[in-house]
């Protein structure tokens, strides 16, 4: 049987994938600079953790800082809490950018530099992530929805029937903390994440703090899975493992939104990345022995598990299936046979998850619940809302809902067509499965009706392990830095004047720090 080319060249690959220069080990001066960047970033992360006591996404009920003399002071200093947290966000993001020469092998001026090793980067990630892992949640209150959904799942026969207020009552301690926009929205997550919610509620009951800690542990576990899998995916694609780890795991979007924000994407992307590693290793084996078959089945089960957290990653099954079909041959018979294998393995995994969690299939009917939110980060949604507004201004009536439906549907059709094209590109061998998946997920995110800053990670994780051209990395790094500072620490809700004053203070602090960093010998001046 023909093997899948491990680093198959092709039209798309030639454009975004290139061998990286061997720049050697950093000099002592460079290592000292990296150490200073690490300490500054750690200090900024600690600052964020302290500010989160007053400016985090804190619960309305069972806030442990409320009434405390020492920690409660931050709740009474909202402007100061916001300012120091925002300043910490900016500095952590800036330090991440300062690491780029030592993971990419070149300075912003084109000069080559030495590369740090995996151990050094792992320590940097750990030192920046640990304070955020111990701090109160920031950037989103979704974790409180997770807690309420766990209580609903352990109370009702159909966990997807009702929202928190309807199912638990407006005075229930877990329903009170749910953000207003989700108080009447049923659970939108798949059976696997529903199982996580049920187990955590069974262990913690109505204790908000204990439940939040356990959900944070799940999020950290997901990031650890990413830390294990991303370098191995990069090795499979012939990309620097350190560069991929820096872009996909050290990224402020991961630190702020997966670890601090406790989003389900952490578990979703962690399972996806590990599943891809195992499945592709099995397909890369010289012969289809028992070990490779078991490895492929396990990898497929993990990828399916990722889709059972949130559905978009189900497309990864198609790319693994096309890689399997390529191994078996180039005709339609191989594609049909591989599709049958993926349906059987994925269906069996989904059936086990549904039975084990008593989820049923109600979650499938709730997949579009979030589309009621008009997200300006979603190009089709923004276009639809703007078009509807222009129509109202011209006196044509309010047809925004109809325009949104048409534009969003057309965008999803475009995403489906592009994904289909990438699937057949994998089968032809013009792009490898990791690259095809990353490119498809990027288009899916752009065409999705609702886009949050951390949704970028759907595409970033596989692309970081595949694409190494500066024409790809530069815009991705820029967008990551901007989106990392896009969401406020409390998530939503602070008064406008508090936000404006806090950002003004942050701009002054950031400017002072930038001048100080520039004058610090050897920190910013690479020449």
pLDDT digit string, tens, across residues 373-394: 677 778 888 888 888 888 877 8
Confidence of residue 70 (pLDDT cuts 50, 70, 90): low
Do residues 34 and 99 make contact, with C-beta atoms less than 8 angstroms apart?
Answer: yes
**DSSP-based three-state secondary structure for 491:** strand
Q: Specify the range with the lowest mean pLDDT, choosing from 252-266, 328-342, 478-492.
A: 478-492
Predicted local confidence at residue 60, as pLDDT: 80
CA of 448: how far to CAs of 226, 298, 396, 416, 442, in Å?
A: 24, 29, 27, 11, 10
**Residue of 49 and 19 predicted with greater confidence:** 49
Half-sphere exposure of 418 (CA within 13 A, CB side): 18
Tokens of 19: 């061998």
Percent of the chain with pLDDT over 90: 37
- C-alpha 186/C-alpha 122 separation (Å) is 38
Q: b or e along 420-451 (b: 16 or more beta carbons within 10 Å of the residue's beta carbon)? A: eebbebbbebbbbbbbbbbbbbbbbbbbbbbb
Residue 79: inside a domain: yes
List the domain range (segments joined by +) for residue 123: 19-136+495-527
Neighbours of 80 (CB within 10 A): 16
Residue 147: inside a domain: no
* 106: β partners: 112
- C-alpha 111/C-alpha 109 separation (Å) is 6
Closest-CA residue to 95 (of 496, 484, 357): 484
Mean pLDDT, rounded, of the chain: 83
Residue 78: inside a domain: yes
Residue 29: inside a domain: yes
Predicted local confidence at residue 398, as pLDDT: 75
Residue found under tokens 């491990």: 6
Q: Is residue 58 packed enough to be buried (19+ CB in 10 Å), middle (13-18) or exposed (0-12)?
A: buried
Confidence of residue 371 (pLDDT cuts 50, 70, 90): low
Rounded average pLDDT over 146-165: 87
Instruction: Tell me: pLDDT of 18 over 50.
Output: no
Residue found under tokens 């990722």: 306
**DSSP-based three-state secondary structure for 369:** helix
Q: Where are the alpha helices (DSSP H) in 24-77?
A: 28-55, 73-76
Closest-CA residue to 17 (of 325, 250, 254, 244): 244
Largest interatomic CA distance in the chain: 72
Rounded average pLDDT over 44-55: 89
Predicted local confidence at residue 11, as pLDDT: 34
Q: Is residue 229 packed enough to be buried (19+ CB in 10 Å), middle (13-18) or exposed (0-12)?
A: buried
Do residues 50 and 74 make contact, with C-beta atoms less than 8 angstroms apart?
Answer: yes
Residues in the chain: 527
Predicted local confidence at residue 496, as pLDDT: 65
Predicted local confidence at residue 35, as pLDDT: 87
Residue 269: inside a domain: no
**Residue of 488 and 351 predicted with greater confidence:** 351
CA of 464: how far to CAs of 20, 48, 111, 241, 410, in Å?
A: 13, 27, 22, 9, 28
Neighbours of 118 (CB within 10 A): 12
Instruction: Tell me: pLDDT of 472 over 50.
Output: yes
Predicted local confidence at residue 525, as pLDDT: 53
Residue 41: inside a domain: yes
CA of 463: how far to CAs of 133, 316, 432, 433, in Å?
A: 26, 13, 11, 11
Predicted local confidence at residue 414, as pLDDT: 94
Tokens of 264: 């389900």
Instruction: Tell me: pLDDT of 2 over 50.
Output: no
* Angle (nearest 5°) at CA 442 between 338 and 193: 70
Confidence of residue 498 (pLDDT cuts 50, 70, 90): low
Q: Write the pLDDT tens digit of every residue in 183-233.
A: 888 888 889 999 999 999 999 988 999 999 999 999 999 999 999 999 999
Residue 123: inside a domain: yes
* Angle (nearest 5°) at CA 103 between 98 and 108: 50
Confidence of residue 27 (pLDDT cuts 50, 70, 90): low
What's the total number of domains in the chain?
1
Predicted local confidence at residue 213, as pLDDT: 93
Neighbours of 351 (CB within 10 A): 11
Instruction: Tell me: pLDDT of 455 over 80.
Output: yes
Predicted local confidence at residue 25, as pLDDT: 56
* 488: β partners: 491
Closest-CA residue to 142 (of 375, 484, 457, 491): 491
């Amino acid at each position: 049987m023909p093997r899948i080319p491990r680093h198959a060249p092709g039209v798309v690959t030639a454009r975004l994938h290139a061998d990286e220069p061997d720049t050697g080990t950093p000099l002592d001066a460079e290592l000292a600079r990296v150490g200073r960047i690490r300490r500054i970033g750690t200090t900024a992360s600690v600052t964020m953790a302290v500010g989160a006591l007053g400016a985090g996404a804190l619960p309305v009920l069972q806030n442990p800082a409320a009434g405390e003399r020492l920690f409660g002071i931050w709740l009474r200093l909202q402007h100061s809490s916001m300012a120091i947290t925002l300043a910490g966000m900016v500095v952590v993001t800036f330090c991440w950018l300062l690491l780029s020469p030592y993971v990419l092998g070149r300075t912003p001026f084109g000069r080559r530099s030495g590369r740090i090793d995996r151990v050094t980067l792992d320590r940097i990630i750990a030192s920046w992530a640990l304070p955020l892992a111990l701090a109160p949640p920031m950037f989103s209150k979704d974790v409180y929805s997770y807690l309420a959904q766990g209580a609903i799942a352990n109370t009702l026969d159909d966990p997807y029937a009702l929202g928190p207020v309807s199912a638990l009552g407006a005075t229930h301690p877990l329903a009170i903390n749910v953000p207003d926009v989700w108080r009447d929205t049923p659970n939108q997550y798949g059976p696997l994440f529903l199982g996580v919610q049920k187990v955590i509620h069974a262990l913690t009951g109505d204790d908000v703090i204990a439940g939040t800690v356990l959900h944070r542990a799940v999020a950290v576990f997901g990031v650890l899975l990413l830390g294990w899998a991303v370098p191995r995916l990069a090795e499979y694609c012939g990309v620097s493992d350190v560069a991929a780890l820096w872009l996909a795991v050290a990224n402020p979007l991961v630190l702020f939104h997966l670890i601090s924000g406790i989003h389900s994407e952490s578990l979703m992307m962690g399972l996806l990345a590990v599943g891809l590693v195992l499945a592709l290793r099995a397909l890369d084996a010289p012969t289809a022995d028992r070990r490779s078959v078991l490895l492929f089945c396990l990898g497929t089960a993990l990828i399916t598990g990722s889709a059972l957290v949130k559905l978009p990653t189900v497309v990864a099954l198609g790319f693994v299936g096309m890689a399997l079909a390529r191994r078996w041959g180039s005709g339609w018979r191989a594609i049909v046979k591989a599709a049958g294998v993926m349906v059987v393995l994925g269906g069996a995994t989904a059936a086990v998850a549904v039975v084990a969690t008593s989820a049923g299939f109600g979650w499938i009917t709730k997949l579009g619940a979030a589309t009621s939110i008009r997200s300006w980060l979603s190009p089709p949604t923004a276009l639809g809302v703007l078009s509807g507004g222009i129509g109202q201004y011209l006196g044509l009536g309010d047809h925004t809902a109809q325009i949104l439906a048409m534009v969003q549907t057309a965008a999803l059709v475009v995403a489906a067509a592009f994904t289909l094209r990438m699937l057949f590109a994998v089968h032809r061998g013009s792009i490898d499965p990791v690259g095809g998946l990353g490119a498809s997920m990027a288009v899916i995110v752009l065409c999705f009706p609702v886009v949050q800053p951390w949704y970028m990670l759907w595409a970033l994780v596989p692309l970081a392990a595949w694409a190494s051209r500066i024409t790809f990395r530069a815009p991705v790094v820029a967008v990551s830095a901007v989106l990392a500072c896009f969401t406020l620490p409390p998530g939503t809700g602070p008064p406008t004047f508090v936000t404006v004053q806090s950002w003004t203070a942050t701009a002054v602090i950031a400017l002072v720090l930038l001048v100080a960093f520039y004058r610090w010998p050897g920190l910013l001046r690479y020449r």
